[in-house]
Amino acid sequence: MEPRISLVTLGVADLERSVRFYRDGLGWPLSSASAGDVAFFRTGGAVLALYPRSLLAADAHLSPGAPGFGGITLAHNVASREQVDAVLAEAAAAGAVILKPAQEAEWGGYTGYFADPDGHPWEVAWNPYFPLGPDGSVQLPK
Amino acid sequence: MEPRISLVTLGVADLERSVRFYRDGLGWPLSSASAGDVAFFRTGGAVLALYPRSLLAADAHLSPGAPGFGGITLAHNVASREQVDAVLAEAAAAGAVILKPAQEAEWGGYTGYFADPDGHPWEVAWNPYFPLGPDGSVQLPK
């Protein structure tokens, strides 16, 4: 597994309120990839995403009050479906709990989740709409 | 505030266990900047840090069970003390709660914390030992 945090997703109670805070309050650039329930901000490194906390928990197959779930997930994006399977297998071999086996996502990608030794959830994702740059980072549209 | 996540710090129950997971299990490169209670991993973007969860909560002036605290903090590093003060002021003006006003850190830096609208804690830090690259990212030693 390459050393890379692709996205940090914050679970939020009120998406509009949080978008106002980051976009208008702090001046961060909202990406046009934002749609519906999710907002993405372009940064110098790991993308910041905002998503309703209950949906975020459900996506990771966690209850909103699960131990180790503080309403944040980290994502590690890869370039192919096969790499999703490979990274999840590597994490499991390292002792991680697989929260959600890799599967087709509604939005057209392929993703799964593992939990690290403290229960911190990591999504491993192939997202055909988010191309990766030469350094492996997600290249969000403006 | 520039759009940048400098570090993601995971609160852990057993630092050695977590270092084994990330270093030996996943193969991530541990930085020689790791010392005592903290471990840093070099990545393509945001640095991954591991730190005891109780100390992480204390550092952010939170109780370990505080709402919104799931044992993860995000850090935004800047190039000077003055920028720490400026970013905290900007966050407060945007409606953030200041968890910890900027102050000298034991390790020689200058940092403070704010909470976003959902209580997610952000550290704003000047760290003279972690130089910033041209893109603002933290440059960890090997």
pLDDT computed for residue A137 by the predictor: 86
| Residue B24, domain CATH | 3.10.180.10
Among B22, B53, B116, B142, the strongest candidate for a mutation testing the A interface, having the largest count of A CBs within 10 A, is B116
Does A100 have pLDDT greater than 90?
yes
- Closest by CA position to B63, among listed B116, B26, B11, B112: B11
Tell me the pairing of strands B110-115 and B121-126: antiparallel
pLDDT computed for residue A70 by the predictor: 82
State the average pLDDT over residues B93-116: 95
State the average pLDDT over residues A52-66: 88
CA atoms within 13 A on the CB side of B8: 26
Does B64 have pLDDT greater than 80?
no
State the average pLDDT over residues B96-121: 94
Window 30-89 of A, Cβ < 8 Å to B: 41-46, 48, 53, 68-72, 74
Does A42 fall in a domain? yes
Does B110 fall in a domain? yes
Of A6, A8, A135, the CB nearest to B74: A8
Distance CA A80, CA A102 (A): 12
pLDDT above 90 covers a percentage of chain B that reads 75
Confidence of residue B127 (pLDDT cuts 50, 70, 90): very high
Q: For B131-140, what is each residue's pLDDT tens digit?
A: 898 888 888 8
State the average pLDDT over residues B93-121: 94
pLDDT computed for residue A83 by the predictor: 96
Do residue A44 and residue B4 have CB atoms under 8 angstroms apart? Answer: yes
Q: Provide the number of structural domains found in chain B.
A: 1
Q: Measure A100 CA to nearest chain B CA, in Å.
A: 18
pLDDT computed for residue B34 by the predictor: 95
Q: Measure B9 CA to nearest chain A CA, in Å.
A: 11
Q: Which two tokens stand for residue A99?
A: 């929260």
Do residue B3 and residue A41 have CB atoms under 8 angstroms apart? Answer: yes
Residue A25 DSSP code: I
pLDDT above 90 covers a percentage of chain A that reads 76
Confidence of residue B68 (pLDDT cuts 50, 70, 90): low
Does B1 fall in a domain? no
* B67 vs A37: which has the higher pLDDT: A37
pLDDT computed for residue B140 by the predictor: 86
Does A44 have pLDDT greater than 70?
yes
For chain B, what is the mean pLDDT? 92
Residue B45, CA distances (Å) to A12, B24, B135, B139 in order = 24, 20, 10, 10
pLDDT computed for residue B35 by the predictor: 92
Does B89 have pLDDT greater than 80?
yes
Residue A1: list chain B partners with CB under 8 A. Answer: 26-28
Do residue A117 and residue B12 have CB atoms under 8 angstroms apart? Answer: yes
Does B131 fall in a domain? no
pLDDT computed for residue B95 by the predictor: 92
Q: For A18-35, what is each residue's pLDDT tens digit?
A: 999 999 999 999 999 999
User: What is the side-by-side order of every strand in the sheet holding B72-78?
Assistant: B39-41, B47-52, B7-12, B72-78, B121-126, B110-115, B97-104
- Please name the amino acid found at residue A68: G
pTM: 0.91
Confidence of residue A68 (pLDDT cuts 50, 70, 90): low
What are residue B117's phi and psi, to 5 degrees? -60, -20
CB B67 within 8 Å of CB B26: no
Query: Which letter, b or e, does each residue of A42-67 get, where b requires 16 or more Cβ atoms within 10 Å of its Cβ?
Result: bbbbbbbbbbbbeebbebbebeeebe
pLDDT computed for residue A51 by the predictor: 95
Q: Which domain holds residue A102?
A: 7-126
Q: In terms of DSSP H, where are the helices of A25-135?
A: 53-59, 81-93
Does B91 fall in a domain? yes
Does B94 fall in a domain? yes
Does A1 fall in a domain? no
Q: How many CB pairs under 8 A join A and B?
A: 141
Q: In this complex, is the C-beta atom of A129 within 8 Å of any C-beta atom belonging to chain B?
A: no
Do residue B44 and residue A3 have CB atoms under 8 angstroms apart? Answer: yes
Does B12 fall in a domain? yes
Does B111 have pLDDT greater than 80?
yes
